[in-house]
Structure 1
Amino acid sequence: MALISEPAGGPVYPERSDPWFSDGNIVLEAEGIHFKVYQGILAANSSIFKDLFSFGQGDAEHIVEKCHVVQLSDKAEDLRIVLHSLHDCTRYDHAATDKKIPLSVLIAYLRLGRKYDIAHLSEIAMSKLALECPTTLEARQHIIESSSINWPRFIDIDCTRRHHFLLVNLIREHNILQYLPYALYICATPDPNDSFEEAPWSLFSPNPESNSDERYLSTADHHACTRGQKILGQLLINRTISWIESCDTCAEQQCLSFKNVLQPRYLSPIKIGYLFHTWDTTWENMLCPGCVDLCKNINDQGAQDAWNRLPSIFGLPSWEELAGTWYVYIWSSVITTDAFLTELSIFCAF
């Protein structure tokens, strides 16, 4: 059996963890932790494991309870989540769009689902990402209009634990950059004038130059957010909500009074979260017909213009170019599959 280490007090053996089935027939090891599961279930859900198990019998020294041990380079928590999902379909039931998926589960599904070709898990993760980080303004507006749940709607993101920063790093890790503009927008929306934004999880708290914690933004992304926040604020004032300012074409007291009421709501302080604000039809009862047409047009065009510019504001290519990175990633993954299997076979031969 493989040892984790050989300290002065004697050998330390790998820890056993759940899931551990007494009648399981394969043991997976990650970060010094063992999981005893069923080879057939792994093979049925993963083409990578299926190919690996077809290599035949192997090293007799790597045996635990008469089961061969496969040593993996994955994080133990990621592996634990995925193994639970494969062996108990009720454990993590997050496929429905009306159910939030914990960020830890999303990470595990994305990392191991793609690495081991577990299609249904990676598809769940990608679908949740697509909903939480839309790539078109139409998709975003539809989600907001059709959902009664406040943000976050599809991924359980806790900003006080820096989950919004971790999401950015996860997107970069997997090169699914079409979701990056909106993920960075989420990081940039907090109000710099809010006293709570000095908290350790805030964009405005110190960001260490060298930190291996995945919950910190890279220096480049941190600068992109702080710089982009200023641009987004100007777009809100000068484009999307510019109609709130009085105009030369209307002197109706009703219109002026209503606009004065709205100004502090959106502009004092500036709330970037309203940059893509959908026109509220109830406003039409408080504006003259001429202002309704003019203001609605300004609002909608401003939101669309800001959306089109969102990637470039954070120093990224256009939406169309970013969408192409997904296909590049898939192709590169296909190319490296054989090399990956060879690497795995070094740790365990069957």
Structure 2
Amino acid sequence: MSAEEQPPLKRPRTSDDSEGPSGSTEQSGPELVRSEELWFEDGSVIIQAESTQFRVHKTILARSSSIFRDIFEIGEQSASEAVVDGCPVVHVSDSAVEMHHFLLLLYDQKYAPGKLPTLTQIMAMLRLGRKYDVDFLYQEALRRLQFEFPSTLAAFNPGQPVYKQFSWQPGALFDVVTLAQEMRIHSILPAALFYCAALPLKALFSGLAREDATIATIPAEVLQTLLIGLDALLGSLGHISLKWIRGNAGSPLCDSPQSCKNWRVTLLEIVFKVKPDVRLCLADTRGFDAILGFLCRSCRKHARSEHQIGRGEIWQSLPQFFGLESWDRALSPDPGPWPMDSHDLATCAE
């Protein structure tokens, strides 16, 4: 990792500070708290995130992280290093919660027995795994996110994420979208945004409450992209995914043209009389089994075939609906900035 990519680590002042009773350097600011779970008496370094201190082992961190390895080597050459209980202190700009998960995974390299990792753990693995060059954590988090938000139609569940790779928590969808934007992981954005598009407008504008009573929201520029994509998807519903229900769209081999046409008109009214459900764009035909049963055999076969073709067309264009260039670009290591500006978004939605 280049010097430009190294995280902003800083050490506290030592020259003008007075020594506290335990030999530690006193600092102004919030009262410091020692981590109960990650404070080892034989630890050789203290990592401080926000007001929480973790006493851990240099060897454990240096073995997995080239960034920490470099920091420790630089620290050994420094004469002005702050110490607490004889251990050098390294200040980091990360949240205490994410640093706790990150360090715990470096030590245990596993989650709680019989439990899926939480999204908070996944976010820590992704952010800090990349920041500190711990590739096995980053890749594991990425694999789990890409399973839940796949880039292929065959792996996609049109209703909602299956949550087999991390545990569901309120606000998870919005947090995933924000994380993907921040980390430029565009491969998971089309599926994640499609799931968001199926939520009520009130949730999109007001946010979703997390378990800790904070509110998960979508950034304003992302919300604009999402709503433009939703409008374009709903516009495509009648002439791509569900084009087979239009009046004269039956099979050329239809046994009862008028009867099948009447049932297609009935389905058309059911789908479009009230607000259409965007999930129908990618739903398979099992959701229409009841109405398809009233069509003749040839029209049923024709409808299923046409619907599958339409699903494929919409899936192939899904990145463009949400302001991304293409699946190939979304899957590339450097997909570029997102969202696009409003003019480019309007072009994509046409």
- The reply to whether TM is greater than 0.5 is yes
2 CA distance for matches of 1:52 and 1:191? Answer: 48
Paired residues of 2:243 and 2:249 also in contact (CA < 8 A): no
Greater Cα offset, 229-238 or 122-131: 229-238
Whichever structure has more helix as a proportion of its residues is 1
Higher RCO, Cα 8 Å, sep 6+:
1
Q: Is the 8 A contact 1:2 1:62 kept in 2?
A: yes
- Which amino acid is the alignment partner of residue 34 of structure 1? Q
Which residue does 2:320 correspond to in 1?
A: 312
What code does the residue aligned with 1:52 have? I
Q: Distance in 1 between matches of 2:172 and 2:191?
A: 14
Query: Residues of 1 paired with 2:249 and 2:193: CA distance?
Result: 37
Offset of residue 292 of structure 1: 2.9
Q: Which residue of 2 aligns with 1:69?
A: 89
Match of 1:101 in 2: 117
Could you tell me which residue of structure 2 aligns to residue 278 of structure 1?
Answer: 284
TM-score, normalized by length of structure 2?
A: 0.73
2:129 to 99, 110, 113: 113
Q: Could you say if the C-alpha distance between residues 327 and 314 of structure 1 is closer, same or farther in structure 2, counting changes exceeding 3 Å?
A: closer
Q: Aligned pair 1:21/2:40, yes or no? A: yes
Provide, for residues 250-308 of structure 1, a one-character-per-residue CA deviation record: whole Å limited to 9, x for no partner: 43687568657866775544221232122439947654332133212210111111112
1:255 and 1:20 mapped to 2: Cα distance?
A: 72
Q: Which whole-Å CA distance do the structure 2 matches of 1:119 and 1:29 have between them?
A: 22
Q: Deviations over 1:82-105 (max 9, x none)?
A: 1111222344569xxxx7431111
Instruction: Indicate whether 1:51 and 2:70 are aligned.
Output: yes
Specify the alignment match of 1:78 in structure 2.
98
Using the aligned pairs only, state the percent identity: 29
- SS of 1:19's equivalent in the other structure is strand
Q: Match of 2:186?
A: 177
Q: 1:166, 1:214 within 8 Å by CA — same for their partners in 2?
A: no
**Aligned partners of 1:180, 1:70: CA distance in 2, in Å?**
35
Going from structure 1 to structure 2, the CA distance change for 1:182 and 1:57 (only over 3 Å counts) comes to same
**Letter of the 2:206 counterpart:** S
Question: Structure 1 CA distance, aligned partners of 2:78 and 2:42?
Answer: 20
User: Compared with structure 1, are the counterparts of its residues 233 and 100 closer, same or farther at alpha carbon in structure 2 (3 Å cutoff)?
Assistant: farther
Query: For structure 2, which runs of at least 5 residues remain unmatched after alignment?
Result: 1-23, 209-213, 338-350
- Paired position in structure 2 for 1:156: 167
CA contact (8 A) 2:171 2:215 kept: no
Aligned residue among 273, 289, 294 for 2:297: 289
* RMSD, aligned CA: 3.4
Equivalent AA in structure 1 for residue 278 of structure 2? I
Tell me, yes or no, if the aligned pair for 1:84 and 1:91 is still in contact at 8 Å.
no
8 Å contact from structure 1 (residues 135, 179) kept in 2: yes
After superposing the two structures, state which structure 1 stretch, 270-279 or 37-46, moved more: 270-279
In structure 1, the partner of 2:217 is 216
Alpha-carbon distance in 1 for matches of 2:219, 2:69: 37
Counterpart code for 2:53: H
The number of aligned residues is 300
Partner residue, 1:5: 28
CA contact 2:38–2:55 (8 Å) conserved in 1: yes
Q: Distance in 2 between matches of 1:320 and 1:72?
A: 36
Spell out, residue by residue over 1:119-139, the C-alpha distance to the aligned partner (whole angstroms, 9 max, x if none). 211111100111122122233
Alpha-carbon shift at residue 3 of structure 1 (Å): 4.0
**Residue 177 of structure 1 aligns to which amino acid in structure 2?**
H
Task: Summarize the alignment of residues 122-133 of structure 1 with structure 2, pairs less than 5 Å apart.
Answer: 122-133=138-149
Partner in structure 1 of residue 10 of structure 2: none
